[in-house]
Amino acid sequence: MTEAQPVAGVPRRLLWSRAEVVSLRDDTPRVRSLTLAVADWPGHLAGQHVDVRLTAEDGYQAQRSYSIASPPEAPLLELTVETISDGEVSPYLTGELRPGDIFELRGPIGGYFVWSERQPGPLVLIGGGSGVVPLMAMLRHRAIAGPTQPALLVYSSRNWDEIIYRDELERLAAADPSLRIVHTLTRAQPQGWQGFRRRVDKAMLEELGVPALASPNLFICGPTPMVETAAQASVELGIDAARIKTERFGPSGG
Amino acid sequence: MTEPPISRGFRSRKPQTEQRDRVPPGQYLTTDFPVLSAGPTPSISVDNWSFALQLGGSLLAKWNWTEFQALPQTDLKTDIHCVTKWSKLDTQWRGVSFDTLLEAAGLSEAPTEYTMLHCDGGYTTNVPVADLKDGMGMVATQYDGLPLAPSHGGPARMLVPHLYFWKSAKWVRRLRFIEKDEAGFWESLGYHIYGDPWREQRYTGD
Ligand SMILES: Cc1cc2nc3c(=O)[nH]c(=O)nc-3n(C[C@H](O)[C@H](O)[C@H](O)COP(=O)(O)OP(=O)(O)OC[C@H]3O[C@@H](n4cnc5c(N)ncnc54)[C@H](O)[C@@H]3O)c2cc1C
């Protein structure tokens, strides 16, 4: 992270806009995606996030950040939210919102954890749980733009049913020989599971050939301990720290 | 914009505590200590660590770890506010205050009105001198009575608790006095140039 350059897509001033829920999709038992129509959306880059603000009847307001799951090319904005059971905002977004409901958001925010197909070098995405959301925006963008570089997604989930975007990821990989998707299931595995069954670590990245890649761009997103381990492992494998971008979700993470 | 839309069925899950007046707008209290940084956590041995004061490109003073530890230490109990929305009350820090650093460098006052902080990993952030002096800023090496963990910025981070926490740069190594205010890393990526949580200055133009 040596050069900090302003990036297109970061507007000069971020105003609150109204987002209308167009549709809802259940991705897993605890994760729901919201498709939103946002008035005057200025556009975004893959990897950016928005701030959501909810207002209660008594005027109480709460704000939280959510990554944008939809690619820059999509006409509607998609957010993918995991229900934190004792949480304040996420259970409302996943459990209460109905099509036609309106709430406020502003963005796009974050000009560093972003990727575009024009960025040279192979793409390595490492995600844990809902940390896959901004990475999905990158993969969707890549599929639309037309892949020119190989890409690898290493995605850690607790079990098979908690893999967010599972079918879509399968379709993306099937349609694109230069995209490799590797799941690791940390808590429970289906019968006959041949894949990884542990948290992302150095040996895993080594086995997947990450150190052999020339000038890769790494994006790591998820709970803090996962991000710390994966970023540390990548540095130990000889990857230039300046090529590793990280995003840590929520408190100390699970 | 007119009145915000009411989210039917949405209400505060947090008990309204007497600490409400210590939480800036849009923030919520956490008891965790979340970690936020743009890249990998650098591992820095205190043997190779030093901290420098610079004026533009010239060196004013420099301390190695042992020398830095020998400077008068300040304890500070304070609330901190991260732009990602969490606030944490009564955090306990120890380190060397900006005022002490100036004095130890033989300076009666700061040579300019602005500073840029430079860190391992290339991160930078800008802070006005007025927000560092008179006990407002320090270089912290301990949190909660223990050496600062690398993921929280150890061995040493800046602490400017009255501004959003990205200003409290982790892994700080140099404080450079500059004539004019300039944007640092996050400030040139859409975050506010000053970052006052009480005025909710999160992003450019707030
Ligand atoms: C840049 C950024 C992008 C984000 N993108 C997404 C996204 O795309 N999808 C998404 O679902 N979330 C995302 N988050 C997390 C999100 O902002 C909220 O923190 C999360 O939804 C919890 O909010 P809450 O109000 O439900 O819980 P809170 O009321 O804030 O917290 C309730 C309890 O849950 C714990 N907790 C909070 N968050 C988590 C977590 N992530 N994991 C485990 N425990 C937690 C808290 O410590 C607390 O004990 C993002 C966060 C950041 C900073």
Give yes or no: residues A48 and A155 share one domain: no
User: Of A44-48, A115-119, B31-35, which gets the smallest average pLDDT?
Assistant: B31-35
Minimum distance, in Å, between the CA of residue A42 and any CA atom of chain B: 14
Q: Which of A45, A76, A109 is the last residue of a domain?
A: A109
Specify the pLDDT at position A13: 82
Q: Which of A69, A85, A109 is the last residue of a domain?
A: A109
Would you say residue B14 has pLDDT above 80? no
Give yes or no: residues A78 and A139 share one domain: no
Q: Count the domains in chain A.
A: 2
Q: Which of A109, A142, A169 is the last residue of a domain?
A: A109
Mean pLDDT calculated for residue range B148-170: 96
List A51's β-bridge partners, or say none: A65, A106
Helix (H), strand (E) at residue A174: helix A166-175
Q: pLDDT tens digit string along B163-183? A: 999 999 999 999 999 999 999
Give yes or no: residues A141 and A61 share one domain: no
Q: In angstroms, rounded to a whole number, what is the distance separating the alpha carbons of residues A126 and B68?
A: 38
Two tokens, residue A20: 């209308």
Specify the pLDDT at position B43: 85
Would you say residue A6 has pLDDT above 60? no
pLDDT bracket for residue B3 (50, 70, 90)? confident
Q: Domain limits of chain B?
A: 25-33+50-199
A116: in domain:
no
A216: in domain:
yes
b (16+ CB within 10 A) / e for A159-175:
eeebbbbbeebeebbee
Q: Inter-chain contact A56–B206, Cβ cutoff 8 Å?
A: no
Q: Considering chain B, what percentage of its residues have pLDDT values greater than 90?
A: 80
Query: What CA–CA distances, in Å, run from A115 to A4, A35, A140, A243?
Result: 14, 22, 11, 12
Would you say residue B111 has pLDDT above 90? yes
The CATH number that applies at residue A221 is 3.40.50.80
A187: in domain:
yes
Q: Which residue has the tokens 């059971």?
A: A85
Q: pLDDT tens digit string along A172-182? A: 999 999 999 99
Specify the pLDDT at position A4: 40
Contact B159, B74 (CB under 8 A): no
Mean pLDDT calculated for residue range A78-82: 98
Give yes or no: residues A128 and A221 share one domain: yes
Closest CA relative to residue A103, chosen from A81, A85, A75, A74 = A81
Closest CA relative to residue B22, chosen from B67, B88, B76 = B88
Give yes or no: residues A45 and A88 share one domain: yes
Give yes or no: residues A240 and A214 share one domain: yes
Domain with A209 in it? 123-248
CB proximity B11 to A under 8 Å: yes
Mean pLDDT calculated for residue range A197-207: 97
Contacts B184 to A, Cβ<8 Å: 4
Specify the pLDDT at position A173: 97
Nearest alpha carbon, ligand 1 atom 48: A87
Contacts B206 to A, Cβ<8 Å: 13-14
Determine the distance separating the centroid of ligand 1 and the alpha carbon of A82, expressed in angstroms: 8
Minimum distance, in Å, between the CA of residue B69 and any CA atom of chain A: 28
Specify the pLDDT at position B37: 80
- Global pTM reads 0.90
Domain B25-33+50-199 fold is Sulfite Oxidase; Chain A, domain 2 (3.90.420)
Specify the pLDDT at position B17: 66
Give yes or no: residues A66 and A156 share one domain: no
CB burial class (10 A; 0-12, 13-18, 19+) of residue B1?
Answer: exposed
Q: pLDDT tens digit string along B76-85? A: 999 999 999 9
